[in-house]
Amino acid sequence: MSAKTEVRFKEAEEQKLTILTSIGVIIAVLSWLAYGYPIIVGLLAITAVYLMTGDRYQWVYIWIKTYKRDTIGLRVLLATMFRIWVWERRGVTVVTRWAEVAKMRPDKKAFVMGDRCLTFREGDEFSNRIAWYFRCQGFKTGEVIALFMETQPEYVFIWLGLAKIRVTTALVNTNLRGAQLIHCLKIAACKAVVFGDEMAGAINEIQHEIRDIPLFQFNSPDRHSAPILQGAAPLATELVEMSSDALTDVDPAKPRDTLMYIYTSGTTGFPKAAIITNIRYLLIPLGVHNSGRLTARDVIYDPLPLHHTAGGVLGAGQCLILGCTVVLRKKFSASNYWSDAAKYGCTVSQYIGEICRYLLTVPKGPHDRAHNVKVIVGNGLRPQIWQEFVDRFGVERVLEFYGATEGNSNLVNLDSKMGAIGFLSRLVSSIYPLTLVKCDEITGDILRDENGRCITCGPHEPGLLLGKIDPKKAILTFSGYADKTASEKKMVRNVKVENDCYFNTGDILVMDHYGYFYFKDRTGDTFRWRGENVSTAEVEGVISNLVGLKDTVVYGVTIPNMEGKAGMAAIADPDNKLNLTELAKGLTSALPAYARPLFLRILPEPPLTATFKLKKKELIEQSYNPSLNSDPIYFLDQKTESYVPVSEKLYNDIVQGNVKL
């Protein structure tokens, strides 16, 4: 917040509080004249004077503005914590909770995709066949089996069936190939791989590297005749011989036992296998269910990959844990999003990353408002398009949340505050121990005071979000990764007192006076140029609006003998319609000189992860060198303020310092 804005905020507070104080004094005087209670009135007057002195008036005003929101938030938090506490005390796991839900609604549709669906009874029977089959194959409690399959109704019931014999499932990203795929199988010590017939080619490519791992190919019912990969067992065919009755002789799992591994997609490096325990799988969908005021009658539209948390836990969990019908789609389609929601009678829909921006790029059509979706749930709705999205599609509530697959630092925007990713009460923040601490925005290094403690940020001060780890409370636990070294790197100790421990989210957020949080950047994404810090997320938002919501990635690149990093933007322009002249003019008017990208790279397709996040690692490595890729690269000419092509000669001149920057 700028200094002028800060002053205006305080002036507005003072004016409103002056009015409130005046009204209070008048009421007090009239009450005294009418009823003659001088002692009571005197005490009230003293209390009022106390509250209005120093900076206490600000807290009174904040309470007036936020008490309704905070009351709702407290109710949601306590309801979720209490139910999780009860479930943990009763020893409830995903398997036992599913058994309760399936009995209540046996003939209700559980998962729907296209023209196929599985009811709760059918899903339970299928998962029982999976359990019997893999026990007959000799798999034991604690062993890990990888699931490498595109979205389909059977997907969830495969890992649920394995959970019934206490085998852990590693949900492998279907976009992975080669070395990354092998890495994911090895890091979780997978004893077997269950793969869909559509993944047979990817498995065949690495079969020589995993020759000792048994393979089981599952052919979807609508592709039952697909050829079986040599060396793989035909799982769908062999399941027919298995019993659909429940196993009764398996030792029950515990709430804190590992249920599955979900790999962090990230934007750099190899994925990490995050541990998802039973209690965490119960917590995530329950928290969203309570926050969104959902019921078992709601129909959820989940077009997200089931191998990630948003689609496979938050979305699918609404079925397994809360008894909702969940509508799946194999691959997200912007043009079919609202027509799908209308066709299946969805009342709640999910989004993540850049999905909302893609929906706005679709030409307006009859399904924009011809649907029953009242609530959208997800994270990543950019503030720049928030209002436009809500207005166009007629969504009543946006339940934007913040969280990580493995993290304990979760926030929810309960009142659709535009741009906010969640909130914490300023008055009772200790109930949910998250904190923003000062850090170097470039390196992510945490700053500490003379006592070695982290420095807490005030309102409108960017800071690194940390969440206190408390193993005694399910909502505050951090189970970590399969790789214990990676787990240790995410922990920060001695934050507020000696030997306390917090989870490092790696995200820089900003909190306003009312306790609303806003995403600023990932640590490491911010870079410094011309003595100023540049937020990649903010620049991406500006450019995306200027180029018609096209995919845009902003990052810093090194120029020899120059301090800091220069901005570079990679823009996906598959239609070849980008107007560089208009873009340069827009950037000049919208951004300060230090934040304008010095280089542009035009991409033929979006650089996205499976969860619709923008990738940067390869782009940063290739930088602005035209010989490292065939994409057009442009340089912002300082004299003409226009973008010109980067030739080999211009590149050499920039590197050798012949071009003034």
SS3 per residue for 504-562:
EEEEEEEECCCCEEEEEEECCCCEEECCEEECHHHHHHHHHHHCCCCCEEEEEECCCCC
Nearest to 216 by CA among 147, 151, 306, 162: 147
- Region 211-215 average pLDDT: 94
For domain 424-521, say whether CATH 3.40.50.720 is its number.
no
- Region 530-556 average pLDDT: 84
Q: In the numeric block, which tokens belong to residue 281? A: 């799988």
Give how far the C-alpha of residue 337 lies from the chain's centroid of Cα atoms, to the nearest Å: 20
- The 633-637 sheet, strands edge to edge: 552-557, 566-572, 599-603, 633-637, 642-645
- Region 293-307 average pLDDT: 96
How many Å apart are CA 529 and CA 389, to the nearest integer? 33
| pTM summary value | 0.79
Band (120; pLDDT cuts 50, 70, 90): very high
- Region 617-637 average pLDDT: 89
Band (447; pLDDT cuts 50, 70, 90): very high
Predicted confidence (pLDDT) per residue in 151-186, tens digit: 999 999 999 999 999 999 999 989 888 888 999 999
Q: Which one-letter amino acid corresponds to residue 77?
A: L
pLDDT surpassing 60 at residue 40: no
Taking CA atoms, 453 is separated from 204, 448, 466, 576, 619, in Å, by 52, 5, 13, 52, 37
DSSP secondary structure, 65-126, as one string: HHHHHHHHHHHHHHHHHHHHHHHHHHT--HHHHHHHHHHHSTTSEEEEETTEEEEHHHHHHH
Residue 60: predicted pLDDT: 76
Q: Which one-letter amino acid corresponds to residue 441?
A: E
Task: Please give the CATH architecture assigned to the domain spanning 525-655.
Answer: 2-Layer Sandwich (3.30)
Residue 29: predicted pLDDT: 56
Which region among 50-64, 301-315, 517-531 has the lowest average model confidence (pLDDT)? 50-64
Q: In the numeric block, which tokens belong to residue 21? A: 């104080």
Residue 4: predicted pLDDT: 47
Q: Which one-letter amino acid corresponds to residue 570?
A: A
Residue 451: predicted pLDDT: 92
Which region among 262-271, 384-393, 595-604 has the lowest average model confidence (pLDDT)? 262-271
How many Å apart are CA 83 and CA 87, to the nearest integer? 6
Strand residue runs (E) in 164-287: 168-171, 190-196, 215-218, 232-234, 258-263, 273-277
Supply the CATH classification number for the domain 91-107+115-277: 3.40.50.980
Taking CA atoms, 67 is separated from 60, 78, 334, 430, in Å, by 10, 16, 38, 16
pLDDT surpassing 80 at residue 606: no
Residues with Cβ within 8 Å of 377's Cβ and at least 6 positions away in sequence, in order, are 288, 292, 314, 348, 349, 350, 351, 399, 401
How many Å apart are CA 636 and CA 646, to the nearest integer? 10
